[in-house]
């Protein structure tokens, strides 16, 4: 157990059935030094689920949004998201998971429409946005340039140093997940070394994205320390020093906490 800080999982779909039951899982998280988990929204059907769970378990930090894989067929559903987010703005830590995916989901124009609306919603509520980007870093960067002042995190970042620097210049954090544990992820490790530690967050993306070498049915937020260790080794920053920075980063982004 760490002496005076604990880790924060900045992206965990703990509302998915694969991670039930929550009580024992959250106990396991606390035992390995994970104090909080950000739970993104993904769909209309799951819109209220992260908030409902957070009311039962205060270590969960809920968000609301529509993932590019699960976008409603009817754009009028944006009104449902907007109404929900405005009514519960005091409890939600972010809008999202929103974003773009080159390989899955509806056509690019539809994905971009939903992304733009969610960026506008986040700005109107003064909330960060949690972004998904697969094969779309260049397009996402171009869109974000049209939303000056937008802030948030590009989760599960895997890209080049130039792409990493572009997102950081635009005011976004980079979520570091299980990919950092893979022997093949040399480019991502090199990219992360090119941005300030103050721009990084830890995440598991559980139940997806198992760390390398773990044999399990699905990923778990209790594996977050493995990602922390892999990032510490990749950046050659002492484990505790890195953990302090990463935890402060998450508090700054999602809670507006001043960290000095």
pLDDT along the chain (260 residues), means of 10: 74 96 96 97 97 98 98 97 98 98 98 98 98 98 97 97 98 97 95 98 97 94 97 96 97 79
pTM exceeds 0.85, yes or no:
yes
What is residue 258's predicted lDDT score, i.e. its pLDDT? 57
State how far the Cα of 22 lies from the Cα of 33, in Å rounded to an integer.
16
Residue 244 domain flag: yes
Q: Extract the runs of DSSP E, i.e. beta strands, from 40-194.
A: 60-64, 94-101, 129-134, 152-154, 172-176
Longest Cα pair distance anywhere in the chain, in angstroms?
A: 50
What is residue 257's predicted lDDT score, i.e. its pLDDT? 67
What is residue 220's predicted lDDT score, i.e. its pLDDT? 97
Q: Is 74 annotated as ligand-binding?
A: no
Residue 161 domain flag: yes
State how far the Cα of 117 lies from the Cα of 225, in Å rounded to an integer.
35
Residue 139 domain flag: yes
What is residue 5's predicted lDDT score, i.e. its pLDDT? 67
Q: Is 132 annotated as ligand-binding?
A: yes
State how far the Cα of 177 lies from the Cα of 206, in Å rounded to an integer.
10
Residue 51 domain flag: yes
Q: Is 155 annotated as ligand-binding?
A: yes
Q: Which residues pair with 133 in a beta bridge?
A: 100
Residue 190 domain flag: yes
Record the tokens describing residue 47, joined without a space.
Answer: 């819109």
Full domain range(s) for residue 157: 38-202+230-255
Q: Is 228 annotated as ligand-binding?
A: no
Residue 246 domain flag: yes
Residue 2 domain flag: no
* Number of domain units in the chain: 1
Q: Is 46 annotated as ligand-binding?
A: no
Q: The CATH number of the domain where 104 resides is what?
A: 3.20.20.140
Residue 127 domain flag: yes
């Amino acid at each position: 157990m760490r002496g005076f800080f604990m880790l924060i999982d900045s992206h965990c779909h703990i509302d998915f059935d694969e991670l039930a039951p929550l009580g024992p899982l959250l106990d396991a998280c606390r035992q390995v030094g994970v104090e909080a988990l950000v739970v993104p929204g993904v769909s209309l059907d799951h819109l209220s689920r992260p908030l409902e769970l957070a009311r039962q378990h205060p270590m969960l930090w809920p968000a609301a949004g529509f993932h590019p894989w699960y976008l409603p067929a009817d754009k009028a559903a944006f009104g449902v998201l907007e109404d929900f987010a405005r009514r519960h703005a005091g409890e939600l830590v972010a809008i999202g998971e929103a974003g773009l995916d080159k390989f899955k989901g509806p056509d690019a124009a539809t994905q971009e429409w939903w992304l733009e609306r969610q960026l506008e919603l986040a700005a109107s509520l003064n909330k960060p946005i949690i972004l998904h980007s697969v094969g779309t870093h260049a397009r996402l960067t171009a869109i974000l340039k049209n939303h000056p002042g937008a802030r948030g995190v590009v989760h599960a970042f895997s890209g080049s140093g130039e792409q990493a620097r572009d997102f950081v210049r635009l005011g976004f954090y980079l979520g570091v997940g299980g990919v950092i544990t893979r022997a093949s992820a040399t480019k991502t490790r090199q990219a992360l070394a090119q941005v300030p530690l103050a721009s990084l967050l830890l995440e598991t993306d559980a139940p997806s994205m198992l760390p390398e070498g773990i044999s399990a049915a699905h990923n778990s937020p209790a594996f977050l320390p493995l990602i922390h260790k892999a990032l510490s080794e990749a950046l050659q920053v002492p484990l505790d020093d890195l953990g302090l920075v990463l935890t402060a980063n998450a508090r700054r982004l999602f809670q507006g906490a001043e960290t000095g």
